[in-house]
């Protein structure tokens, strides 16, 4: 990921500084002792930074592994009948965090949770969150995945490698969100330039890079959601006026009310999609 590449670059700069200032200190020690001591001091400061960063990363990795192990143990203790409730709870917690992150950084945004958008085939497209803001309409697909995501962002499906050893396949969430976008665009009758697609992953999901992520979309963890929204809004550079924000929110609010009929049709649609992917 981009952040890892930045950290690697910083590490190379620090190691370069250590060798450069150590070499300069040894070179000047016989001719200019104050300058040599200054070089050695800077060298020691960089070495101290390296030691501190190693300790912090080891601590982070240890906590990350402990969190994964705790989740695996929790899942192993849950029987099949309770697993659905467990996964639903995890998903709701992730969506709550996403909503909090948006409101903390975009307090004037309007949020729609679990909108059931009608499709042309009389079924429904469930969108986890829609954030309506003057910088755009953000269609957010949340995935509380534990494990490594294998595959390219252009692929139809992705493989998930769970730390417990299991592997399973999911629909590419970018393609899933593109389908959401088309249905929402048709419903609202708005220009596609107003919409932004964001895939938000849980903390225990890992993916290699952003290669092949389309320009209108972004993939991130919850802590980077606000940055992703800001990045997309600047990239597209278009704003909605207050009247359009309020009208869009009012138009979508009624689709957040799930009835038994909608739920039954949506569940049936999901089952059919899973069956088609397995064929």
**Token pair of 206, please?**
């890992």
> For residue 2, what pLDDT is reported?
45
Predicted TM-score (pTM) above 0.85: no
Provide, rounded to the nearest whole percent, the portion of the chain with pLDDT above 90.
36
Q: Are strands 147-150 and 205-206 parallel, antiparallel or unpaired?
A: parallel
Direct distance between the N- and C-terminal alpha carbons of the chain, in angstroms, rounded to an integer: 33
Higher pLDDT, 75 or 153: 153
Pairing outcome for strands 110-118 and 124-133:
antiparallel
Task: List the chain domain ranges.
Answer: 2-77, 81-278
Taking only the tens place, the pLDDT of each residue in 53-93 is 888 777 766 676 666 666 666 665 666 667 677 778 888 99
CA distance 101 to 202: 13
- Count other C-beta atoms under 10 Å from residue 153's C-beta: 20
Among candidate residues 3, 72, 15, the one with its CA nearest the CA of residue 47: 15
Class in CATH terms, 81-278: alpha beta
Q: What are phi and psi of 73, to 5 degrees?
A: -65, -40
pLDDT tens digits for range 193-242? 899 999 999 888 888 888 888 888 899 999 999 999 998 888 877 889 99
Crossing angle for the helix pair 173-188 and 242-253, to the nearest 10 degrees: 100
Lowest-confidence pick of 42-56, 121-135, 165-179, 218-232: 42-56
């Amino acid at each position: 990921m981009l952040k890892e590449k930045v950290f690697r670059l910083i590490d190379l700069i620090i190691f370069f500084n250590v060798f450069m200032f150590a070499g300069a200190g040894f070179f000047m020690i016989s001719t200019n002792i104050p300058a040599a001591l200054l070089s050695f001091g800077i060298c020691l400061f960089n070495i101290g930074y390296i030691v501190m960063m190693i300790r912090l990363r080891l601590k982070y990795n240890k906590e990350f592994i402990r969190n994964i192990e705790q989740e695996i143990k929790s899942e192993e203790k849950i029987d099949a009948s309770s697993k659905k409730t467990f996964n639903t709870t995890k998903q709701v917690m992730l969506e709550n965090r996403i909503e909090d992150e948006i409101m903390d950084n975009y307090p004037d945004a309007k949020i729609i949770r679990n909108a059931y958008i009608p499709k042309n085939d009389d079924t429904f497209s469930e969108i986890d969150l829609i954030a309506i803001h003057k910088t755009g309409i953000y269609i957010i697909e949340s995935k509380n995945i534990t494990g490594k995501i294998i595959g390219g962002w252009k692929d139809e499906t992705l493989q998930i490698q769970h730390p417990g050893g299991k592997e399973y396949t999911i629909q590419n969430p970018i393609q899933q969100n593109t389908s959401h976008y088309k249905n929402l665009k048709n419903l609202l009758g708005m220009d596609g330039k107003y919409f932004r697609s964001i895939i938000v992953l849980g903390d225990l999901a890992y993916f290699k890079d952003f290669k092949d992520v389309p320009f209108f979309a972004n993939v991130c963890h919850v802590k980077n959601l606000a940055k992703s929204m800001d990045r997309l809004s600047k990239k597209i550079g278009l704003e909605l006026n207050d009247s359009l924000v309020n009208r869009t929110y009012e138009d979508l609010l009624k689709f957040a009310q799930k009835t038994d009929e909608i739920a039954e049709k949506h569940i049936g649609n999901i089952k059919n999609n899973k069956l088609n992917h397995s064929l």
